[in-house]
Amino acid sequence: MRKYLLYIPTPDGKHCVELDHPARNFDLAINIWGDVVPPMHELHGVMPFHKRGNMWPVIKQIGENLLVKSDIWKQYDAFCFICNDVEIDTVSLNQLFEQGTARGLDLWQASLQPNSVIGWTHTVQQPGGGVRVVPFVESMMPVFSRAALEKCLHTFDETESGWGIDILWPTLLDRSKIAVFDSVTAKVSRPMSSEFRMFSTGMTGREEGNDLIKRHGLRFTLLEQQ
């Protein structure tokens, strides 16, 4: 068992092969929600799940039912959750896990390449290759320390779409320990589809996010998004 865990939802499991590098320092939790299940018997450190649903509520269910109640949870130092449209290689993930835990961070992410689909400008890579404290990281690829995840897991189904929960996380953590690494980059390959999609709550993703922010009394609006 490795010290870190990466979770990714995928329709076909192809990320198993792409990220199964001999030198990876993380185990893989793959949620295959499509109909094609690839063979995984030759892969080491892979936990396959088959659960449909929106990403963050599903992560909460898996975390509460299958990880928190077992010793597995306690053996990892950090957890990364990435959307399947995030392009990042194994070496970069290794660095991201190691550098964040070495600095004692609560919550962090890789910076976005300039040619990436950009959600928030403060996550775009800056010159110098350093690490920056930021107001929040994005929900498409956050890395949590184990302690931070234990504090934030209950929020993962605050919205069906996942919108707004990344704004909420800093209120539960030490804001000085939330950062973006310019030394590690990733790329988001396609625009988000949930912003104006209607969910079972009767709200779009953006509306869900603003509703969450209002419920928690936060001074913020998702209309400010870049």
The pLDDT tens digits of the residues spanning 42-68 come to: 556 777 787 888 899 999 998 887 666
Residue 226 lies in a domain: no
pLDDT of residue 12: 65
Whole-angstrom Cα distance, residue 42 to residue 26? 16
Mean pLDDT, residues 118-144 taken together: 94
Q: Which two tokens stand for residue 216?
A: 């928690």
Residue 225 lies in a domain: no
Amino acid at 31: N
Domain that includes residue 129, residue range: 4-220
Burial of 56 (0-12, 13-18, 19+ CB in 10 A): buried
Phi, psi of 29, deg, nearest 5: -110, 110
- Model-level pTM? 0.90
pLDDT tops 60 at residue 40: no
CATH number at residue 196: 3.90.550.10
Residue 162 lies in a domain: yes
Provide the number of structural domains found in the chain: 1
pLDDT of residue 35: 67
